[in-house]
Structure 1
Amino acid sequence: MSEWQRASAVALFEDGYGAKAVASRLGVSAGAVRRLRDRWRLRSAGALMNKPGRRSFGFEFKLEVVRRYVGGEATAAELAREHGLSSPKLVENWARAYRREGEDALRPKPKGRPPGVADSPGPGELERLRAENLRLSAENAYLKKLRALREQGRG
């Protein structure tokens, strides 16, 4: 949603319009409007602010929040408000991953390309390839010379 659409949506929420009505008036998806409404309920006008850069959360923090949510101690919205999270959807996503894969789903994942190349040939294979390369280079030079001599003989 654009900044203008977010501002218009919040104004309509404040006037008492529901998410469906706001979505149809602005011509945007109902899901995006519902997520904005949830953020608006948490932070009122703060929902209009652009999100700051990606925050990362530690394993222990996520685990505590998810355990409280799964245990029924608090709703996703309450936990999001209490911990200053951007959206209740974040808590729901963590809980879904936790139910599917357990605690390991909440651990940080390694980023980037893994170190080293798995398919690099060993030292013996490398020596064999160098010898083959030398033989093929010599064969190529021989064939070039042969072609040049044939061309010289025709011309």
Structure 2
Amino acid sequence: MRARSSLSAGQREELVALFEQGYSYWAAAHHVGVGVYPVRALFRRFLLHGKLCLVEKPSKQQYSSEIKKEVVQRHLAGESKMDLAREFGLSSDQVVGYWSRKWRKGGDDALKLKPKGRPKGSAKPKVLTEEDKLRRENERLRAENAYLKKCGT
């Protein structure tokens, strides 16, 4: 389970036990006294993985653009998100919908992995010649002079 989940480990275990008894996510959420949306997400993972939805994964899985493209094409061809998520071992069926939306907006390029970290800075500034340095200093001094005249000093 994610570290940023609003459900505690005990609540998740209690909710999974209620799911196994046949409770809907809405009824289970009200029985435990927690919000419906995180319980719905847990319920969808429960339908996909069973009790394994309680196991915390060590790291975030990354998929190649080819796998994403295949999943999207099969989803657009009519296969259900749940079946695709189960077949490809995705954490949730909502991942399939997310990839499909990205593909509709940006095509195949939208499914490619983005480089991590901060983008590299722009190219190093070019070295100024002595003449350019003098021109810049001259402009700065003119601006300073105009400012001082305007202030009346």
2: distance between equivalents of 1:52 and 1:69? 28
Code of the residue aligned with 1:124 in structure 2: it is: L
Could you say what the CA RMSD is over the residues aligned between the two structures, in angstroms?
Answer: 2.2
Comparing both structures, which one devotes a greater share of its residues to helix?
A: 1
Cα offset, 1:22, TM superposition: 1.2
2: distance between equivalents of 1:90 and 1:108? 15
Does residue 47 (structure 1) correspond to residue 43 (structure 2)? The answer is no
Alignment of 1:105-124 (within 5 A): 105-118=110-123, 120-124=124-128
Which one of 84, 89, 95 corresponds to residue 84 of structure 1? 89
Code of the residue aligned with 2:14 in structure 1: it is: S
Which one of 102, 111, 133 corresponds to residue 107 of structure 2? 102
Cα offset, 1:62, TM superposition: 0.3
1:120-143 Cα shifts (integer Å, max 9, x gaps): 4310169829x96xxxxxxxxxxx
Which one of 64, 69, 82 corresponds to residue 63 of structure 1? 69
Does residue 37 (structure 1) correspond to residue 20 (structure 2)? The answer is no
Structure 1 unaligned segments of length 5 or more: list them: 133-155
Match of 2:151 in 1: none
Cα offset, 1:41, TM superposition: 1.1
Number of residue pairs the alignment of both structures matches: 130
Cα offset, 1:29, TM superposition: 2.2
Code of the residue aligned with 1:26 in structure 2: it is: V
1:12-65 Cα shifts (integer Å, max 9, x gaps): 111111111111222322121111111111111101111331111000000000
Code of the residue aligned with 1:31 in structure 2: it is: Y
Match of 1:26 in 2: 32
2: distance between equivalents of 1:16 and 1:53? 31
Give the TM-score normalised by the residue count of structure 2. Answer: 0.76
Code of the residue aligned with 1:84 in structure 2: it is: G
Q: Percent identity?
A: 43
SS in 2 for 1:124: coil
Larger radius of gyration: 1
Does residue 9 (structure 1) correspond to residue 21 (structure 2)? The answer is no
Structure 2 unaligned segments of length 5 or more: list them: 1-6, 138-153
